[in-house]
């Protein structure tokens, strides 16, 4: 049984599914990076390629996911 979803992915109806996952270690560094940005030790603007409104969130996700327009990091503003 898959512990995350409770599904038995060995059953025939699930055989054509591909499951991929990995640890999201980025959250471990959020506080450290925020401190470095506030101290001026790291300039986050180097990686921000797009700034869009919150209403454009769906579009922002799409261009990030497809790596369109050389998208690296999107900032959403309310």
- Tally Cβ neighbours within 10 Å of residue 20: 4
Model confidence at 2: pLDDT above 50: no
Token reading at 68:
């369109």
For 14-41, write each residue's pLDDT tens digit: 666 666 666 777 788 889 988 998 999 9
Per-residue model confidence as pLDDT tens digits over 42-54: 898 888 999 999 9
- Taking a C-beta distance cutoff of 8 angstroms, is the pair 13, 3 a contact? no
Instruction: Give the pLDDT mean for 47-71.
Output: 94
- Whole-structure pTM over 0.75, yes or no? no
Q: What is the mean pLDDT of the chain?
A: 82
């Amino acid at each position: 049984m898959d512990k995350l979803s409770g599904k038995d992915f060995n059953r025939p109806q699930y055989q054509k599914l591909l499951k991929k996952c990995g640890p999201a270690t980025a959250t471990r560094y959020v506080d450290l990076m925020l401190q470095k940005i506030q101290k001026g030790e790291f300039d986050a603007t180097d990686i921000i390629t797009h700034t869009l409104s919150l209403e454009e969130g769906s579009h922002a996700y799409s261009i990030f996911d497809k790596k369109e327009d050389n998208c690296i990091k999107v900032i959403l503003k309310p």
